[in-house]
């Protein structure tokens, strides 16, 4: 399980990013059965979770202020973004691939969270720039919209840079990047650490998420 020291410093927040060895992080198992029923579609819709096993339909951002209810996403190269308020009162999980980033799923999630205590953000395991070659048309579109930092090498997108740009533009100053590249990261035995769609994994994806513990729970 991959975790963020920044998110770990928030009171009452439990979180984790999945790996190939642990598709569901251990931190999420206590609330796994309560997760919402959803379908991620690389869009920009954000759903608010208010009850266990909520039917939310098509969505790529999930937020809640209800203790014990998890905000969980699936990724296999896209950006898994976990957000929490500094006081632990509200959380969100966002699935942001290139389509979601381009269509502003992160700004949509931040807007849906509204006003409150400052937010912190953890960007989890994501395909790196070197591994993420795209078409010239897509590279040009991202350069026009997000500037040269989005495409630092010829036809190679930097999804993390775009995510951070959108977070900082919305006033999120505390951002933690964890986990490395989903496509090329290897363990000591040379085995892939993560699932990667670009590398060819199709049958299983990694879950990442977080929840607010109920008062009195350790």
Binned at pLDDT 50, 70 and 90, residue 218 comes out as low
Q: What percent of the chain has pLDDT over 90?
A: 95
Beta strands in the chain (DSSP E): 13-17, 37-39, 46-48, 55-58, 61-64, 71-75, 79-85, 91-96, 119-123, 174-177, 206-212
Q: Where are the domains positioned within the chain?
A: 5-126+172-212
Condensed to tens digits (0 to 9), the pLDDT of residues 43-55 reads 999 999 999 999 9
- Candidates 173, 215, 208, 217; CA nearest to 28 is 208
Q: What percent of the chain has pLDDT over 70?
A: 99
Pairing, β 206-212 against β 119-123 = unpaired
**What does the pLDDT average to over 32-45?**
97
> For residues 119 and 203, which has the higher predicted lDDT (pLDDT)?
119
Rounded Cα distance between 163 and 148, Å, is 14
Q: Full-prediction pTM beyond 0.95?
A: yes
**What does the pLDDT average to over 58-67?**
98
Q: Which CATH number fits domain 5-126+172-212: 3.60.140.10, 3.40.50.261, 3.30.70.870, 3.20.20.100?
A: 3.60.140.10
Residues in CB range of 177: below 8 A, 6 or more apart: 122, 123, 160, 164
Rounded Cα distance between 42 and 59, Å, is 8
Average pLDDT, the chain: 96
Binned at pLDDT 50, 70 and 90, residue 36 comes out as very high
Q: Which of 54-68, 105-119, 161-175, 195-209 has the lowest mean pLDDT?
A: 195-209
């Amino acid at each position: 399980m991959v975790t963020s020291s920044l998110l770990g410093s928030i009171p009452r927040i439990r979180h984790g990013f999945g790996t190939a060895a642990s598709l569901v992080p251990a931190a999420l198992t206590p609330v796994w059965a309560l997760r919402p029923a959803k379908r991620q579609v690389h869009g920009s819709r954000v759903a608010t979770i208010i009850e266990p096993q909520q039917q939310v339909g098509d969505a790529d951002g999930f937020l809640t202020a209800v203790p014990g209810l998890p905000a969980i996403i699936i990724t296999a190269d896209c950006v898994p973004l976990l957000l929490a308020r500094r006081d632990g009162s509200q959380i969100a999980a966002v699935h942001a691939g290139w389509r979601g980033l381009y269509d502003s799923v992160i700004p949509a999630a931040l807007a849906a969270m509204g006003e409150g205590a400052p937010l912190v953000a953890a960007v989890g395991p994501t395909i790196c720039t070197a591994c993420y070659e795209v078409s010239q048309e897509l590279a040009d579109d991202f350069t026009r919209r997000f500037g040269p930092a989005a495409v630092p090498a010829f036809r190679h997108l930097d999804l993390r840079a775009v995510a951070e740009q959108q977070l900082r533009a919305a006033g999120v100053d505390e951002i933690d990047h964890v986990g490395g590249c989903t496509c090329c990261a290897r363990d000591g035995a040379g085995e892939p650490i993560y699932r990667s769609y670009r590398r060819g994994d199709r049958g299983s994806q990694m879950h990442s998420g977080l929840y607010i513990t109920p008062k009195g729970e350790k």
